[in-house]
A and B are shown apart, each in its own frame.
Chain A
Amino acid sequence: MTNSRKLQTAGLLWFLLTLLVLAIGFYQACTAPTEATMGNLYRVFFYHFPHTILSFVFPYLNCFASFAFLYWRQRNPERALAADAFALASAQVTVVYASVGLATGMLWGRAAWGIWWTWDARLTTYLLLWLLYVSYVLLRRLSASGQTEVLSAVLAIFAAIDIPICFMSIRWWRTQHPAPVFGGGADSGIDPSMYPAVLWNLAAWAMWGAFILGLRYAIERRRQRRDTAAAHQYLSASKSPSYGEAQ
């Protein structure tokens, strides 16, 4: 009991710290120098960029957790359940972050390019990433209770294999989204005066992502424990001879 109390305190502290960093990030984003061509419009970048970058990180967590689940499934069922809860949480956080990335990107695109959507390479790949993890969440919803973990772990591995193939094939297909802002060649990069705002926001949203992932994981673990307890109760009740009389 003291252990879970400690975890709760740590979670609360982490949450408060995240709020603080989010506030600093917001302040930095609003006070960063105005961009040369887009003016104040570009400030959505400080929100759009962390979400899109992080929504490419969570799928890897999902893939690792799925591999871990399949490895531990026979060897250590308790640990396998924890890995499965983590896989579910990271997939859901992926969908949330990718949805925010898509929404902010479309708002920005409408203001900067004059269109909501274009079938450009990066946009298409990103939409496919979103589709893949929505289908993962749907599979968890629709599959029978005894098999959900295995089936979704296999789908997660397929999705993780699919992302690089998607990425490369669509790059060859079309290439309106600007070249990568960071590491995209001689002309890329941003003015050094904008770095603090980018880094604070990236840190803030990474912390926020970690927080909701942890929270979702804890909820899923609690649900698993409740299900196991209910199953045990049912088993012991049906075994004991006094079951019929007690009813």
Chain B
Amino acid sequence: MSYTNFVLAHLRKDLQLEWRAKDSINGMLFFSLLVVVVFSLAFDPTAYPAIARQISGGLLWVGLLFASMTALNQSWSRELRNNVLDAQRLAPSPASTLFLGKAIANFLFVTAVEIVLAPVFAVFYNLHPLGQTWKLLFILPLGTWALVVNGTFFAALSLRTRNRELLLPLVLFPIAMPALLAMIQATTDVLTGQFEPTLWIKVLIAYVIVFTIACILLFETILQAD
């Protein structure tokens, strides 16, 4: 089997598991819906459309970030049941294929949540974007991959620590700060139409390339940590 086939096999397994249980997608969807409602309690978005445009980019990403936290923890803890992870460590396939399969699966889950969440956001926050909305088609997947690639990696890193649910955001958020800044700025630029988001898309691309490589290279070390 080639490297791609290994990745696809891992991906298929994760998609199948999720298709049968639908735990993480349902959890994430409902969680991010709750976040949307809670944020709209904090200010009145329909009364101040200009403010809504300014801040809803940030709110969208913060909601997605918190929602993906719940799914990232689950995606590895299901490998712990019946000692599946120990079997994975003995498997002859390269360790990074396991990581890539899971990262792509998580990426697809978060993207599915975004597809549902974006219209809800536009309706609830009465959003009328002033920039070129099609650019969001680049920004959303890039931002999601930036969150998910490091998120999957650090979820694996904090897998066997004490209180892993606590540790994941503590190590992930500081590392993800530049990516968060770039995706929030780019989304806000598109919504307000005041600036071109090009610079921030470039930052996101650089971040994604650098950290995808770092994750693939270091995953074996994490998996065989003890």
Partners in one complex: yes
**Which A residues lie at the B interface, using CB under 8 A?**
70, 128, 131-132, 134-135, 138-139, 142-144, 146-147, 150-151, 154-155, 157-159, 161-162, 165-166, 168-170, 172-173
Whether B175 and A159, one on each chain, are in contact in the complex, defined by CB atoms closer than 8 angstroms, is yes
Whether A142 and B222, one on each chain, are in contact in the complex, defined by CB atoms closer than 8 angstroms, is no
Whether B222 and A151, one on each chain, are in contact in the complex, defined by CB atoms closer than 8 angstroms, is yes
- Say yes or no: A132-B161 contact (C-beta < 8 A), given A142-B166, A154-B221: no
A161 contact from B199, B211, B222, B226, Cβ within 8 A: B211
A to B CB contacts below 8 Å, 14 in the list: A131-B174, A132-B175, A143-B158, A143-B162, A147-B226, A158-B211, A162-B175, A162-B178, A165-B178, A166-B178, A170-B178, A170-B181, A172-B199, A172-B203
- Say yes or no: A173-B185 contact (C-beta < 8 A), given A70-B221, A150-B221: yes
User: How near does chain A come to B75, taking the closest CB pair, in angstroms?
Assistant: 18
Interface of A is mostly: helix
Chain A residue contacts of B157, Cβ below 8 A: 151, 154-155
Whether A128 and B162, one on each chain, are in contact in the complex, defined by CB atoms closer than 8 angstroms, is no
Whether B222 and A173, one on each chain, are in contact in the complex, defined by CB atoms closer than 8 angstroms, is no
Please report the number of residue pairs spanning A and B whose Cβ atoms sit closer than 8 angstroms: 91
User: How near does chain B come to A236, taking the closest CB pair, in angstroms?
Assistant: 22
B225 at the interface (CB under 8 A from A): yes
Whether A139 and B167, one on each chain, are in contact in the complex, defined by CB atoms closer than 8 angstroms, is yes
B90 at the interface (CB under 8 A from A): no
- Compute how far the CA of A49 lies from the CA of B226 in the bound complex, rounded to whole angstroms: 41
Closest to A151 in B: B157
B80 at the interface (CB under 8 A from A): no
- Compute how far the CA of A141 lies from the CA of B158 in the bound complex, rounded to whole angstroms: 12
> What sequence of 0s and 1s flags, for each residue 193-226 of chain B, a beta carbon within 8 Å of any chain A beta carbon?
0000001000100110011001000100110011
B5 at the interface (CB under 8 A from A): no
- Say yes or no: A169-B218 contact (C-beta < 8 A), given A132-B175, A154-B157: no
